[in-house]
Structures are given as structure tokens and as C-alpha cells.
Amino acid sequence: MRDYPQPLRRIRYHDVQTSKTFNFLTNNFAIPAQTVADLYRYRCQVELSFKWINQHLRIKSFFGTSENTAKSQIWIAISVYILVAIIKKRLDSKSELYTTLQILSLTSLENTLLALLVTRMESRSDTAYTHNQPNLFDNFTGQ
């Protein structure tokens, strides 16, 4: 292990909820050990939040370079996500949230009731693929 130019402090933390023990290294000797553990836990939550944003909000790139532009774009994407979730819930849709979002984006210029579009796509997805695909075990004799 390489020498670090400053002295390091090792903190052992046992998480009661997960029954896991963590080791943290820090060069800050002034703050309590619990604060260091909490900061690392919050860091993980921030990383999980960014992972969720990348997976669900589908922001490929930001339209501008300022902090305000990035925040605005993230809030707009979150608002759209929540609106689609509300629509999905109110229509009692069984399809994935992403599928509902695709239906909305593909049919945004159609003059059709939203409930009709969603139920039409759900019924099409239920029958379109199940009857056209051969079953791998149709000719299986069990021997």
C-alpha cells in the first residue's frame, strides 16, 4: 500500500439494519466517527439518485452548461415522469411506465382519448407476441 502524505483515520461502522460492517478512511480528525459514516451513507444515496435519474428520466445530454439549465431540465424530466405515473395509475394500466411514456410520445399528435390508446396498446402487446412465437417445448416428449 502506498504511503499517503497525510495521516489517515480509519473508522469502522456497523450498520444494524443491514448487518454489514464498513471501513472508512478520512483525513479529517475533527468530526465525530458517526458524522463520517453518515456522510458516506448520504454519498451513496446521492449516487443512487443519479443512477435513478439516468435510468428513468432518459436525459441524454443537457441543453445548456449553466447550473440553472441543468436543474431546470432535471425538474422538467421529473415532472413528466410523475405526470406519466399519475396517468398510468388513473388508467389502471398494467404496462410498464416506460411503455406508457412511449405511447404518449408516439401518439402526441393524435386526436384519440388517452385511455383508448393505452388499452389498445396493452391488448396489442398481450396478443401480438404470444400467438406468433413458437413454443420451444411443443414437441417435447419428456424423455
Per-domain residue ranges for the chain? 9-56, 67-128
Label residue 51 by pLDDT band (50, 70, 90).
confident
Asked whether the predicted pLDDT for residue 130 surpasses 50, the reply is: no
Phi, psi (degrees; rounded to nearest 5) at 108: -65, -25
Which residues are within 8 A (CB) of 13 and not within 5 positions of it... i.e. 6 or more apart? 21, 22, 23, 24, 33, 34, 36, 37, 40
| 91/31: higher pLDDT | 31
Label residue 128 by pLDDT band (50, 70, 90).
very low
| 95/78: higher pLDDT | 78
- Supply the DSSP symbol for 114: H
The 3 state secondary structure assigned to 84-97 is HHHHHHHCCCCCCH
SS3 26: strand
Q: What is the pTM of this model?
A: 0.49
| CA–CA gap between residue 73 and residue 62 (Å, rounded) | 7
Percentage above 90 pLDDT, the chain? 17
Which residues on adjacent β-strands are paired with residue 24? 11
